[in-house]
Every structure is written in structure tokens, then in C-alpha cells.
Structure 1
Amino acid sequence: MSIRDLGKKLETISAINITPFYPDNKKIDWAAFEDNINYLVEHGLEVIVPCGNTGEFYALTLDEAKEEISRTVEIVKGRALVVAGIGYSLDTAIELGKHAEQAGADAVMIHQPIHPYVTNEGATSYFRKIIEALDIPSIIYFKDPALSDDVLKELAPMEKFVAVKYAINNLPRFAKLVQETSGIADLTWICGTAEKWAPFFFQAGAKGFTSGLVNLYPEKSFEMLQALKSNDQETVWKVWKEVLPFEDLRAKYNNGNNVVVIKEAMNMLGLAAGVTREPVDMLNEADRREVENILESWGMRNRVSAD
């Protein structure tokens, strides 16, 4: 598969799988992890992203991240693209990327550095050196509004830079960037803020979106994708209204609920998700009831556990 062919295959839903942790010791439950990956592939997801934020990447040790990438490739067995999340320091990101290559991942997604002191030139150098160090293609996860889009414009001509997961919810800014890079690169633009923002990003040039919802309700995510691709606006906004309360709950506490809402909903539906690791805690009772109410509104109440 050529680099550009891979870029086109990203014009879909990027499934950000969870990392299930045992409640007692918070070690990874690898059996539940395998179930989660198989669930995604068997429900038609064509891009699996281990070590993403929904997978609590920054709560994993380096060895755990490597094992998660390796296990994902082994479980998927070529049934979908595997895009491995990498990050931390420059050298560590390259180490993770090299591991992903050796494990058989199709591409990497480079997390944006979480260091509190970042400059445009420093970020450009960080991404460039990682892309240059790896043989497989790279996707950049871009989410800090303080960073200039010039970072992406400067990197855009690089051959192994194939896509951007853009997670800054500034639509005029995004549309301008897409238009300014259209003549110098063939990048795939991915809405990095899931179903809630996908309709807006697609209007501005996105061709795919990321999703945590697919871990429990992939049918609804695909309904959104197909409606967006066919320009079925009536269905787009019907689905948007249905998923909005769930995504708003995930965004609560400055996105602190992002992962735990997914896990709580999965557990309620009998899909083993375990608990979250610090610095995220379990849902409070009010938010937990809201998850139950949302599942009931989706017609899933009969699948919710009795407790």
C-alpha cells in the first residue's frame, strides 16, 4: 500500500480503543483488551488507534504502551489499519515509533507534547524529527490552540506526513488551514473531537473523525459517517442530537469525564471496560445516572445491568 493510499483509508472513523484496568490493582486486563479490539473490528471499524487519549495513553508506562501496540497488531491480524499512538519526549516518541514499526503497525499518531513550555519552532522540530526517523507514515494530533497552524503548513510537504487529527474547535481557523495547504500537500484531515463536532469539520474539509463512542455504539457512529459522506443532512443532525448529551457529558469538568463516561457506559452494557487510572476517578452518582438515562434514550435500557 502506498503512503497516499493509506492516507485515503483514513477517510473514515478512527476508533480510539480503551485500555481496561482491573478495579483492585489497576493493572491492564488483557483479556478485556482483546475483547474490545475484536468488538471494534467485528463491527466494521477500519482504523484502530491504540495508545490514544481514550486509551489513557499518558497513564501507561512505556512498556505497557509498547505491549498495547504489539497486542493490537496481533489481534487485528490485518483486518484493519493499526495507527499507534506515540509521544512523551522526542527520543521516547521515536522509540515507541520504532517499536510500532517492528510490531507491524501501519502508521503512527504523534501526540502533541504536553510540556507546559512549547514554541512553534520547537513543536515543528519535534514532529519533523519523529516523522523523519520512521519508515511508516505519521499522523499529527494537533490540539493546542496556542500553537500556530504554521507548524502544520511547514511540515505539510513531507512525504511520510499523511494526515492531521485536528482537535481545535475553531472552524474558521480549520477551514483556512485546509485551503492554504491544499496546493502543497495531499493531507487527510480528521476531526479530532468526535461525533459532536464532525458535521462542522466536514463542512470545512474534514474527511473522517475520531470516536470513543464506537467502543459501545458503533452503529450510531457509522450512521453519522454515512450521512456525512452522502450529504444526508437530515440524518446528520438527527444523529448529532442523539449523541450530543453523551458527548457533552464526556466534555464535563474540562473534558475530565472523557474516558470514564465511555467506560461506565460500556460496563453498564456488559462490555468489560474496568476502571480509569489516576488522575481520573470514577463518575459521581449524578453523572452515572445521566449515563443510564442516555443509554435508555438510545433504546439500550434492557442491556443495562440491574445495579
Structure 2
Amino acid sequence: MTSDKRTAPKGILGFPVAPYTTDGQLDEAALATNIGFLIEEGLSSIFIACGSGEFHALNADEYERMVKVAVEVADGQVPVYTGVGGNISHAVDLVQRSEQLGADGYLVLPPYLIEGEQQGLYEYYQAIIEESNLNAILYQRGNAILKRPTLERLVDAYPQIVGLKDGYGDMELNLELVHSLGDRLNWLNGMPFAEITMEAYAGIGFNSYSSAISNYIPHISRLFYHALQEGDKQTLHDIYTDVLLPINRIRKARKGYAVALIKAGMDIMGLPVNNSVRPPVVSVEAEHYRQLEGVLTSALQKYPREIQPSQS
């Protein structure tokens, strides 16, 4: 799907999980179901083997298998982006594998642990991006926070850079970046549980977000996004109160639930994934699982899957 026209996915972005069998192996059939579900539910893109897909815990063979499944299931319907990162040689290797396997682009995750100066971050991204003509999206998070001059240098030098995903939350910096680079980039909200902060991000020009809950209640994420676009404050308030904030309280109960709670939600909704993750992430505890089950039961009563955003 890569073309001369450089653009990044917009709207609600799909981030599949890494499903495992009962003996801890990658479950390709469950992954294909997860990806197919996201595409059928209208998500604009698939970001495979990223944070929700437990990038940190995958070996090279599992990574390739996940990308292959994503490209095969997407079959050109939506763009497929991969997660790359870590040390430079590892990131470059994953970019090359992604290109060979037919991905449309990649999301550059932060380098491992080390905090670099802005010049060091520039050179890190430079070394990765120069290895491929695939679209690249940079991820502001942890130890990889680009300031305006550094981001401008990178965008000026590399037309492959089509977007910036923010998972850091510095709104003063985000305002500066959006107003300085404007539509030269697409702006993606990548905060943990992005719906929670999307109302604020939309106000400064971010038009896309990664949706964890779309893995199990995508129709509610669509209702939310439509209300956001239409300025429907009452619907936004109701969805925040009934669904988003209660789930977010559970998510914050344990470290790693940003990943584990997705699988628990999918399990509750009858999708073929069990409530298992790889260390250091821990599975959702029984009490928190029951709490999520209660939230979803109530949410589906008020927002049944048949409800679609009203057209205006």
C-alpha cells in the first residue's frame, strides 16, 4: 500500500495484542481473529508488535510471525505498521524485516534505557530511518522526548516521517510542536488509555489515537470519537462516566495493566485470548477481572453493539 503520497493513518488506530496458547506460545489463529475483528470494526490501521503487542517480550521469530499474520489478514484493506526500537542494530533489523514482509511503515519505540541528548536522539532516529523508505512514526515517550528544533531537523531531512505519537503528556511541548510543524505531520495520541486524554489532545490538533478498548468494545470507542468530532458534550460525559473512567481506575490498580487489562476485556467479551501475559507484566487479578466484567456488563446494557453514531 506504500505510495509516493506520504500520509499517516488517522482516526482510531488498532493495536492488537500478542495472544498466547495455554503453554505460552504465540497463538497465530487468535491473533488473526484479533486483527480481523479490528478491521471489521472500522479501525483505520493495524499497529502490530507494539506496546499492546508486548514488543518487549517477543523473540525474532514471533515478531516475524506477528507481522506476517497482520499483513495477510489486512490484505491491503488498511495500512500495517510495526513496532521497532531498542538498540540501533535491533531497530534497523526490525525495520528491514518489516519492509521485507510487506508492512507499510513502522513506529519507532524508545531506545533501551539510555537517556540521550537531543543530538543523540537525532542520530538514533537518523540511523534507523535511513535504512528504509517505509513510512516512519516517531514515539514521544520515556527517554526519547524530541524538542521542536530536533523534530524539525528530522522532518526536514526525512520525508519518510509522517507522524508523531505522543505518550509523554507534556501539553506545552505538544502545543509548540503542533503549531510549529502543523500539517507536515499527523498527530497521534499515544497516552496509556488514550480515550481518557483525547478530549484534551483533540483541542490542540491531534486527530488520531491508539485505542486499547477497541480490542473488545470498539463500538463504544467509535461512539466516543464521533461525539468528540461533533462536539457532543453530553455523550462524551456519559461515556467517560459510564465506561472510560471506571475502566481506567482498574487499569491503574497494577503496573502493566495497560497491556494485561486488554486481554482480560477480550476474554470477557468472548474473543479467543486468555488472560495471560509475559513477565514482567502480570495477569489481571481475579477481583479486578470481576470489576471489569461488571463495568462491561453495564456498558453493554447502555451502549449495545447495535448503536451506531448518529449521522449529522
TM-score, scaled relative to structure 1: 0.90
User: Which residue number corresponds to residue 244 of structure 1?
Assistant: 245
- Quick check: 1:36 aligned with 2:37? no
User: Which residue number corresponds to residue 307 of structure 2?
Assistant: none
User: Which residue number corresponds to residue 121 of structure 1?
Assistant: 119
Give distance in 2, aligned partners of 1:124 and 1:297.
47
* Letter in structure 1 aligned against 2:234: E
Counting only pairs closer than 5 Å after superposition, residues 1-307 of structure 1 correspond to structure 2 as 2=3, 4-7=5-8, 10-23=9-22, 25-144=23-142, 147-150=145-148, 151-157=150-156, 158-182=158-182, 186-193=184-191, 194-241=194-241, 242-253=243-254, 255-274=255-274, 275-299=276-300
* Letter in structure 2 aligned against 1:65: Y
Checking the alignment, whether the CA contact within 8 Å between 1:3 and 1:137 is kept in structure 2 is no
Give distance in 2, aligned partners of 1:166 and 1:69.
23
* Letter in structure 1 aligned against 2:81: V
* Letter in structure 1 aligned against 2:248: E
Change (3 A) 1:53 1:146: closer
**Unmatched tracts of structure 1, length 5 or more:** none
Q: Deviations over 1:95-146 (max 9, x none)?
A: 1111111211111111111324433222221112211211111001111277
The alignment yields a C-alpha RMSD, in angstroms, of: 2.1
The number of equivalent residue pairs is: 296
Checking the alignment, whether the CA contact within 8 Å between 1:4 and 1:162 is kept in structure 2 is no
Give distance in 1, aligned partners of 2:277 and 2:132.
31
- For structure 1, which segment, 238-247 or 29-38, has the greater mean C-alpha deviation from structure 2 after superposition? 238-247
Give distance in 2, aligned partners of 1:3 and 1:207.
22
**Identity, % of aligned positions:** 27
* Letter in structure 1 aligned against 2:300: G
Give distance in 2, aligned partners of 1:176 and 1:70.
38
Give distance in 1, aligned partners of 2:217 and 2:189.
19
Checking the alignment, whether the CA contact within 8 Å between 1:49 and 1:82 is kept in structure 2 is yes
**Unmatched tracts of structure 2, length 5 or more:** 305-312
Checking the alignment, whether the CA contact within 8 Å between 1:228 and 1:236 is kept in structure 2 is yes
Give distance in 2, aligned partners of 1:224 and 1:155.
34
Give distance in 1, aligned partners of 2:3 and 2:234.
36
* Letter in structure 1 aligned against 2:298: S
Checking the alignment, whether the CA contact within 8 Å between 2:135 and 2:161 is kept in structure 1 is yes
Checking the alignment, whether the CA contact within 8 Å between 1:260 and 1:276 is kept in structure 2 is yes
Give distance in 2, aligned partners of 1:82 and 1:43.
16
What is the Cα deviation at residue 148 of structure 1?
A: 4.3
Give distance in 1, aligned partners of 2:152 and 2:45.
25
Checking the alignment, whether the CA contact within 8 Å between 1:16 and 1:49 is kept in structure 2 is yes
